[in-house]
Amino acid sequence: MANWHYSVNGRQAGPVTQEEIMSKFQKGDINEDTLVWNGALGATWKRYSEVSELQQPDIPPPLPPSAITDVWIWLLAIVPALGYFVENALSTTEGDPPVVLLAYCVVNGTLGYFDERAIKQSGRRDRSTSFWAAALLVPVYLFSRNRRLRRNQFPLATWFAAVAFAVYAMNGSLNPLLALGPTSCDAYASVAKVKELFPRIPLNVSKLDAKEVRNPRETSATPTIRTCAAEIVSPTGNIYDAEYTIERRDTDYYIMLRLK
């Protein structure tokens, strides 16, 4: 008897027989979270996994979400922050943007693939393009994954925090520069401020002091912003390539430092 209806992307589908709807589940056209209904359920739609007559006794139900590892999803959430440190550890210059973007997509997609594989190994059925969803739309993947498993959205919040950290660490923050007028890259006030800011920038995880600022020089300039470059020497003798900008806002001057 054709008396079963089911949901597809927010729309009703059916009617189909019990054998047909169970066949769709076996083929992966629908999954355990798909809403189904027939007359015996009254006015209530239920998840496929909640309807006893659709279950096969020789096939175990999916494992509970708490049994699914969260290792891959947490790694995916902190990729922006990890990527920032890796980029700076591998090179003292910025990489080619298309290559860097491709690397992020590959890493995100790979982690998404392993996470989706863990979900399917728990007994859940779904037709998804997890690699591309994770590679190109990480926040969408994180949100839909945790909503599907009825988990909290802490990994999504962590991803946004990691992105904010990477943006801040890459661009630095503006700090007041005590100068009465236009100042050059090698002016005493500019160099002193660079030394002051160096221990506070996120990439300087050891909070090393700046022993010396070598070869401060101007690389470009506009009427309001002067861009400078220099080499910062730490007490351990390590040399860091740095870039700083001196910006005029009304009558005040601000400086922003970052490592290249």
Taking only the tens place, the pLDDT of each residue in 44-82 is 898 888 888 888 767 777 778 888 899 999 999 999 988
> Is 18 within the bounds of a domain?
yes
pLDDT at 54: 83
> Is 140 within the bounds of a domain?
yes
Domain that holds residue 255: 175-259
Residues 8, 69, single domain; the answer is no
Report the number of distinct structural domains present in the chain: 3
Residues 93, 139, single domain; the answer is yes
Question: Other C-beta atoms within 10 Å of 116: how many?
Answer: 21
Q: Pick from 149, 171, 193: which residue ends a domain?
A: 171
Q: What is the pLDDT of residues 53-63, one digit of tens each?
A: 888 767 777 77
* pTM for the full predicted model: 0.58
pLDDT at 199: 86
Residues 97, 111, single domain; the answer is yes
Q: Tell me which range, 104-113, 147-156, 164-173, 211-220, is most confidently predicted by mean pLDDT.
A: 211-220
> Is 131 within the bounds of a domain?
yes
Residues 149, 192, single domain; the answer is no
> Is 188 within the bounds of a domain?
yes
> Is 101 within the bounds of a domain?
yes
Write the CATH number for 213.
3.10.450
Measured between alpha carbons, how far is residue 219 from residues 98, 225, 227, 242, 243 in Å?
24, 11, 6, 12, 9
Q: How far is CA 171 from the centre of its chain?
A: 18
Mean pLDDT (the chain) is 82
> Is 60 within the bounds of a domain?
no
pLDDT above 60 for 130: no
Give the residue-averaged pLDDT of 115-139: 75
Residues 116, 71, single domain; the answer is yes
**Which phi and psi angles does 96 have, rounded to 5°?**
-65, 120
Q: How far is CA 33 from the centre of its chain?
A: 27
pLDDT at 145: 87
Dist. CA 152–CA 131, nearest whole Å:
22
Residues 210, 234, single domain; the answer is yes
Residues 47, 18, single domain; the answer is yes
> Is 59 within the bounds of a domain?
no
Look up residue 194 and give its two tokens: 């660079």
Evaluated on CA atoms 220, 226, 227, 228, the torsion sign reads positive
Residues 29, 108, single domain; the answer is no
Q: What is the pLDDT of residues 203-254, one digit of tens each?
A: 676 778 999 999 999 999 998 899 999 999 999 888 989 999 898 888 888 8
pLDDT at 78: 94
pLDDT band for position 93 (50/70/90)?
Answer: very low
pLDDT at 102: 84
Residues 78, 139, single domain; the answer is yes
Residues 50, 77, single domain; the answer is no
Measured between alpha carbons, how far is residue 188 from residues 132, 225, 240 in Å?
51, 18, 20
pLDDT at 134: 67
Residues 166, 179, single domain; the answer is no
pLDDT at 97: 59
Residues 84, 22, single domain; the answer is no
In contact, 154 and 186? CB cutoff 8 Å:
no
Q: Report percent pLDDT > 90 for the chain.
A: 24
Q: Pick from 171, 195, 222: which residue ends a domain?
A: 171
Q: Pick from 171, 198, 222: which residue ends a domain?
A: 171
pLDDT at 100: 75
pLDDT at 94: 44
> Is 233 within the bounds of a domain?
yes
